[in-house]
Amino acid sequence: MIASEIRDEILDILGDIAPDEDLSNLADDKPFREQLELDSMDFLDIVMELRKRHRIQIPEEDYTHLASMGSTVAYLEPLMKDIAKK
């Protein structure tokens, strides 16, 4: 997957987790928690959904890399480079 595909995948996951949120103006450099009504369980749901969909293991010490869209895409890009978009 390339960066734009990963971004679309994260938007899809966020849409499932927070269906009432407007994701159209999500800034890449601002933390998700400043832009969306997400709690710690929602955040874990993102991690679990990535594991379920793509078998990606994200260690707990790396969760800080998933704070914003930009940092999430940058973190996931090398992990997902060999995954084909479904």
Task: Say what the pTM is.
Answer: 0.87
Contacts of 67 (CB under 8 A, 6+ apart): 31, 32, 33
pLDDT surpasses 90 at 81? no
Q: What is the pLDDT of residue 86?
A: 59
pLDDT digits 0-9 by tens, 1-15? 899 999 999 999 999
Compute the distance between CA of residue 17 and CA of residue 12 in angstroms, rounded to an integer. Answer: 9
In this predicted structure, what is the pLDDT of residue 39? 87
Residues 18-76 have pLDDT tens digits of 898 889 989 999 999 899 988 889 989 999 999 999 999 999 999 999 999 999 999 99
Please state, in angstroms and rounded to a whole number, the distance separating the CA atoms of residues 46 and 27: 18
Q: Which domains does the chain have, with CATH numbers?
A: 3-18+30-80 (1.10.1200.10)
pLDDT at 85: 66
